[in-house]
Structure 1
Amino acid sequence: MVAQTVASRADIAAEFGSLVWEWGQARVRPRIRELEERGEFPRDLYREMGELGFFGCCFPEDLGGNDAGYRALSVVAEQIARVYPPLSAPMNLQAATVPLTIANWGTREMVRRYVPGLVRGELLGANAMTEPDGGSDFLGAMRTRAVRDGDEYVVNGAKMWITNANVADVAVVYAKTDPDAAHRGVTAFVVPTDTPGFAATRVPCRVLGKLMPTNSVTFTDVRVPASHLLGAEGEGFKVAMNAMDYGRLSVASRSVGLAQACLDAAVAYADERTAFGEKIGSFQLVKKQLADMTVEVAAARALVRAAADGYDAGFVATRESTIAKYYAGEVCNRAAQATAEIFGGAAFSDELPISIYLNYAKLWQTGEGSANIQAILIADDALGWKNMDRHRTELRRES
């Protein structure tokens, strides 16, 4: 029965993968230059992705999903990143970190209000965790405060590098309710972005293109109802770690998709470009690069799928997703670098996406936990000093 379930989920995931690739070839690839030149947020494509079920893999039908599973989420995220990396951001914000965090930790009312809209692409989400003074050290550097005032909390502070905050309808926000209590002083909230005092300002990042906006966010006396807490007061660190478990699976999957896009481009170019009277694919060093990329992409994909299968088995696969995210990030960066070397000077042309591949490979190596942090977690776990699965829990889901 278990084998049949795994096989069935694999078949469903494969069907989704084919659908995403075909959609991307028809709706995205021909429009990339136009979309980048216009620089407008592609809300129509987000809505299409929602309507096609790309964001709903981990949610039941009554919450707007299709219950296809985490393997399907992984395959969809991989294929969207393979089509065009900037358009894969919603596989975190619309399909994983934001809606799953609300579904796992929010009240029934909040779940019903926000999750179906996020999953269908009708609402846009943002995850406001990182601050101007800290990335990996988001706890120690957290200055955003939330002070209880009757049935509300008053939030003041700032966040940085918050994807889609300028277009989002709702944000998951982390703030200190007790600044002297370290990780026990962090609380998570759901904050509609039209709340007075919430302001998002786009941060120009030319190297990332124009389709994935990142922002600074300020909170000026933002009043949030106490009913909008995610979990209890002081549980924000636990909520954040749970959210990042899902985020790592998505980012790892997207890294595999980007690495595959690099391999696709490198193989095609090596088979058509000639030098010294021969196709450059006939040169031994280029063959070695292509061989290494092929093997490493396959290995990274296997690790990512193993992590996804852990989630489908009903538990939060912290160890598996951390290992997968770390290795997929390393593979993605090596693949992007090798592809740039194979293309040579052509890699810098705006006619080709190679420079975008290089920049997003580095970005995703940092997102949802930097490579250095992942390495520390993996090593501490291997040494027996700190078990990565010490907080392993069954998946929670409001339905």
Structure 2
Amino acid sequence: MERAVVRLLRGSALLRRNFPTCLCSWKTPPRALKSSQPEALPSITSEGLPCAPLQTFTDVQNTVVDKLIENHGTEEQKAAYLTRLATDKVGSFCLSEAGAGSDSFALKTRADKKGDYYVINGSKMWISNAEHAHLFLVMANADPSKGYKGITCFVVDRDTEGLHIGRAENKLGIRASSTCPLTFENVKVPEANILGQLGHGYKYAIGSLNEGRIGIAAQMLGLAQGCFDYTVPYTKERIQFGKRLFDFQGLQHQVAHAATQLEAARLLTYNAARLVDARKPFVKEAAMAKYYASEVAGLITSKCVEWMGGVGYTKDYPVEKYFRDAKIGTIYEGASNIQLNTIAKLIDAQY
């Protein structure tokens, strides 16, 4: 993503919508929009701006980084970091590693205590926003003898000695969203930079990912809707065999099916957001929304390429980009099979 775009995003409300620092003062929040309020929905679902990379950029900061600091940070950390994140700074969340993808707590990155600071060594992969981030929330194991219960969250500034940010990955889709590897070589972090409690990082990661999945569902919904909105008018203009493409019943049925899937994905997503706002259990519904919206985005964008025929396969039209961007939805913030595992586990507990 070009730095000029990042600067515009940092100055926009897109990076401040979800937490109290809209007025650069987390102690005096304005009336916050709830996730399920109608006036908030277009920005959440990207329906006004169906660009997956931009939504990824803002979602990481709004639903993960900001939320973690707001919910678990000390008063000093909130004062130091939330104001910066609300004005001109970008945050990044560092969990995944080469051997810790879907098995997200099989972390090898360690944080060894040395007096009043910790020394972090290890590496991270697939870190969104890393290229432009000013601070990183890093999950590292401070006590490997306790397994995943030793995982702790540390706040690490970009200019900390020993932190190295690798070259952005050359991805299939969401190419404007930077995704980089990170390495930590004897990175010294003050004990005061522990976010929340020692050994509670795994809890914070689970909580943030559960809520973040609603953001991914919204992203996929907006992407699919944007692709659908672009393609259907084309089918009403394109003439073949003396008729509009849209006049063929076979295509009409496909369009109707896609529209129904879109609406179902929308309602699943809004319902999950509503449950969060109501402070009710939402994990199953978030997994359902993320799973279904991601699958629907892949199906609809694929159909849109087909409906446009040869031109849909070219870069002269945006549908091929929607198609490429949609694939990540079934992979990140919990692959589709992980969502199904979560749903099944909760159904088992329910009955």
The answer, yes or no, to whether TM exceeds 0.5 is yes
Distance 1:348 1:166 in 2: 30
Cα deviation code 1:229-253 (max 9, x no counterpart):
1221111110100110221111111
Cα deviation code 1:188-233 (max 9, x no counterpart):
1111111111111123325326421110111111111111112211
Aligned alpha-carbon RMSD (Å): 2.1
1:349 aligns with one of 304, 308, 314: 314
1:338 aligns with 2:299: no
Equivalent pairs, count: 345
Distance 1:116 1:320 in 2: 32
**1:305 aligned residue:** 270
Asked whether the 8 Å contact 1:58–1:65 carries over to 2, the reply is: no
The amino acid of 1:223's aligned partner reads K
1:135 aligns with 2:101: yes
Distance 1:69 1:254 in 2: 17
Moved more, 54-63 or 191-200: 54-63
The amino acid of 1:112's aligned partner reads A
Asked whether the 8 Å contact 1:106–1:228 carries over to 2, the reply is: no
What is the DSSP-based 3-state SS (H/G/I as helix, E as strand, rest coil) of the residue aligned with 1:381?
Answer: helix
Tell me by how many angstroms 1:310 deviates. Answer: 1.3
Distance 1:311 1:116 in 2: 24
**1:169 aligned residue:** 134
Residues 48-67 of structure 1 aligned to structure 2 (within 5 Å): 48-50=11-13, 55-59=16-20, 61=23, 62-63=25-26, 66-67=31-32
**2:333 aligned residue:** 368
Moved more, 74-83 or 199-208: 74-83
The amino acid of 1:148's aligned partner reads K
Label 1:55 to 1:292 Cα distance change in 2 as closer, same or farther (>3 A).
Answer: farther
The amino acid of 2:311's aligned partner reads A
Distance 1:155 1:316 in 2: 35
Distance 1:283 1:202 in 2: 48
Tell me by how many angstroms 1:315 deviates. Answer: 4.5
Cα deviation code 1:41-67 (max 9, x no counterpart):
6213312423xx663234365327651
Asked whether the 8 Å contact 1:123–1:169 carries over to 2, the reply is: yes
Moved more, 151-160 or 173-182: 173-182
Cα deviation code 1:132-158 (max 9, x no counterpart):
223111212x11111011111100111
Label 1:169 to 1:254 Cα distance change in 2 as closer, same or farther (>3 A).
Answer: same
Which segments of 5 or more consecutive residues in structure 1 lack a partner in the other structure? Answer: 1-35, 388-399
2:51 aligns with one of 84, 93, 109: 84
Asked whether the 8 Å contact 2:121–2:185 carries over to 1, the reply is: yes
Distance 1:282 1:261 in 2: 22
Asked whether the 8 Å contact 1:191–1:228 carries over to 2, the reply is: yes
Distance 1:65 1:166 in 2: 31
TM-score by length of 1: 0.81
1:283 aligns with 2:242: no
Asked whether the 8 Å contact 2:160–2:187 carries over to 1, the reply is: yes
Which segments of 5 or more consecutive residues in structure 2 lack a partner in the other structure? Answer: none
Label 1:128 to 1:81 Cα distance change in 2 as closer, same or farther (>3 A).
Answer: farther
Tell me by how many angstroms 1:163 deviates. Answer: 1.0
Cα deviation code 1:73-111 (max 9, x no counterpart):
554121268432211113322211000011111111111
Distance 2:136 2:245 in 1: 49
What is the DSSP-based 3-state SS (H/G/I as helix, E as strand, rest coil) of the residue aligned with 2:165?
Answer: strand
Moved more, 312-321 or 268-277: 312-321
